[in-house]
Structure 1
Amino acid sequence: MSEPDKLPADVAELLTAVVEALDLPIPSIESADERKHYRLLEDRTMHTRVALQSLLRHRDHPDLADDAAYIRRCTAEYPVTYAPFISSRADGGA
């Protein structure tokens, strides 16, 4: 039996940066927080898309570490500034 392929470290690093950029907390139910969440998701998505498009355009010379670093820099430039949703359920369970 052959071993399953493993995800290369640089690919895993890039995918981690993408997930971290797009994984935002749910906003509170306030309209202003919902708008800020939407704008933040738009900004982070745009920068992530730019990095991935660049990577696809330069397939012969990929620099996944550089692309991951770019996504992380952009993510840091656009922090969460809205109030996240807080459940009123005290037990946190079903």
Structure 2
Amino acid sequence: MSESDTLPADVVDLLTAVVEALDLPIPSIETADERKHYRLLEDRTMHARIALQCLLRHRDHPDLPDDTAYIRRCTAEHPITYTPYDSARTEDEG
């Protein structure tokens, strides 16, 4: 693999921020948790889309570190507030 085949570090950082924002654990089977999961995924997707659209609109002057920081900041502002599914639990445990 040549150097030209390798993604630049700032692109890798941006893609990592997008994946971290969208990689949510599945919710418990409780309806409220499913709703919170859906809403959180919606919010985080919106912010990632905004950052990526800005990059595409301003291709001549990309600011990857700023857009990466924006995604990470929005991810931190929208933490997981639902109970993730726990496959280790049994019906007897509730």
Question: Structures share a fold, TM > 0.5?
Answer: yes
Letter in 2 for 1:34: E
Question: Residue 20 of structure 2 aligns to which amino acid in structure 1?
Answer: E
SS at match of 2:45: helix
Matched with 1:3 is 2
**CA displacement 1:26-73 (0-9 Å, x = unmatched):** 000000000000000000000000000001000000011111000000
| 1:7 CA drift (Å) | 0.9
- What's 1:86 paired with? 86
In percent, how many aligned pairs have the same letter?
A: 79
Structure 2: where are the runs of 5+ without partners? none
Superposition deviation, residue 89 in structure 1:
6.7
Amino acid at match of 1:76: A
Off by >4 Å, runs of 4+ in structure 1? none
**TM value normalised by structure 2:** 0.90
TM superposition score normalised by structure 1: 0.90
Work out the CA distance in 2 between the residues paired with 1:88 and 1:10.
38
In structure 2, how many angstroms separate the alpha carbons of the residues matched to 1:35 and 1:21? Answer: 17
Matched residue count: 89
**What are the residue-to-residue correspondences of 1:10-89 with 2, within 5 Å?**
10-88=10-88
Aligned-CA RMSD value:
1.5
- Segments of structure 1 that go 5 or more residues without pairing to the other structure are none
**Which structure features the higher share of helix residues?**
2
Amino acid across the alignment from 1:27 = P
